[in-house]
Amino acid sequence: MNLSPRWQVKCGPLAAAGVLALVWGALSCGSGATMAASQQQIAAQERALSPKDAIGHEKLARMLYDDGRYQQALQQVDVALKINPAYQDAQLLKSLIRSKIAGQKKNTTKVASTQPGKKKLHTLLTMDDIYKIRLWELSRHESGPLEGTIVGGQKTLLKFWRRVILQDPDYQNPFPTRRQREGFISPDNFVQQVRLMLRLGQAKYWDKVHIKSDPQAMRTFRQTVEPVVLQSCATVGCHRGQGAPGFRLFGAGGRTNLRQTYTNFYVLNKLAYKGRNFINRGNPPLSLLYQYLLPRDDAAYRHPGKPARGPRYHVFNRQAVIDWIESLRFPAHRYGITDFRMPVTHLPVSTTRKK
């Protein structure tokens, strides 16, 4: 299978020209978990907006969403979609906002208990989360077959055929044949179905794509990158175990399972320190993940703290790690993962002054 970098599609009578625009910025996590945007940041973004800036309105909507101001976020994302109806990240964000608003309305109808419980968050990613990462990390050149299913099967595909493909202005045949329709919904056409759902669909269709096989990027992470990271960083007293300082990784000291591997990837993908991403997809050699694995004398950015607190250096294939980061989709996608607790421990801030 060969998925081109820009998801160019040619399928019989279908000529879906265009590019899958992924403009979802990576979340940052200072020295701890990602925090909602401050009032000052939101105000600054509002002042910086221009009337035709779809990306700016979507960014403001995301800040308001993270701040729990869902109605205001919905207004801003609607503005972004009015400017650019094909803006896929805004479509995904709107779906998330609507689900939050629907959940709030549902909760208001329930009788409040004397001790309302907090919403349960997952400590490891769920299979639905894993499906989302697999979908959005399909690399430029996938090797091997792509395995998966479409939730709802032919019913979903027929709906997509009628409501999306036939309504698309790039569809060149106004009188499709039954054979063309049957060819699209065929179980043997899964790769093309995924391409078209990414190219033309919206969030309600993306969530129905369940990729059952690891994309190339995740196979490389599991086989090449994760073992080095766990061996160097997830040692006793470092990023391992419940009381680990800063963030925590899973599966050290043994063989990681599927959920642990994807959780480790997701955590590293979200983390940043002093504005620098652990995984810098725009400039892989400056990724903190790579820099912290180097000997201190070779690193442009050294691990914070005393040398004894840094990662234990092990010889590793440096180019393989850089090539892996380069293979990830750029810019990063936010995936639409919710109900997950970042495994981050906030370190106490010392208030004593040095004499």
The tens digit of pLDDT for each residue in 226-277 reads 999 998 876 655 776 665 667 888 987 778 899 999 999 999 999 998 899 9
Residue-level pLDDT at 174? 81
Sketch out the chain's domains with CATH numbers. 39-104 (1.25.40.10), 146-211 (no CATH), 216-341 (no CATH)
Whose CA is closest to 96, among 339, 269, 341? Answer: 339
Distance CA 221, CA 197 (A): 26
Q: Of the candidates 196, 174, 170, which has an alpha carbon nearest to the alpha carbon of residue 183? A: 196
Q: What is the pLDDT of residues 95-130, one digit of tens each?
A: 888 878 887 766 655 444 444 555 678 899 999 999
Using alpha carbons, select from 220, 293, 155, 198 the residue that is nearest to residue 5. 198
Question: How much is the average pLDDT of 139-145?
Answer: 71
d(CA 47, CA 61): 14
Q: Is the dihedral of CA 238, 242, 245, 248 positive or negative?
A: positive
The residues, ordered by sequence, that sit 6+ positions from 353 with a Cβ below 8 Å of its Cβ are none
Contact between 122 and 102 under an 8 Å Cβ cutoff? The reply is: no
Query: What is the model's pLDDT at position 50?
Result: 84
Q: What are the CA-CA distances from residue 23 to residues 26, 72, 91, 196 (Å)? A: 9, 21, 12, 19
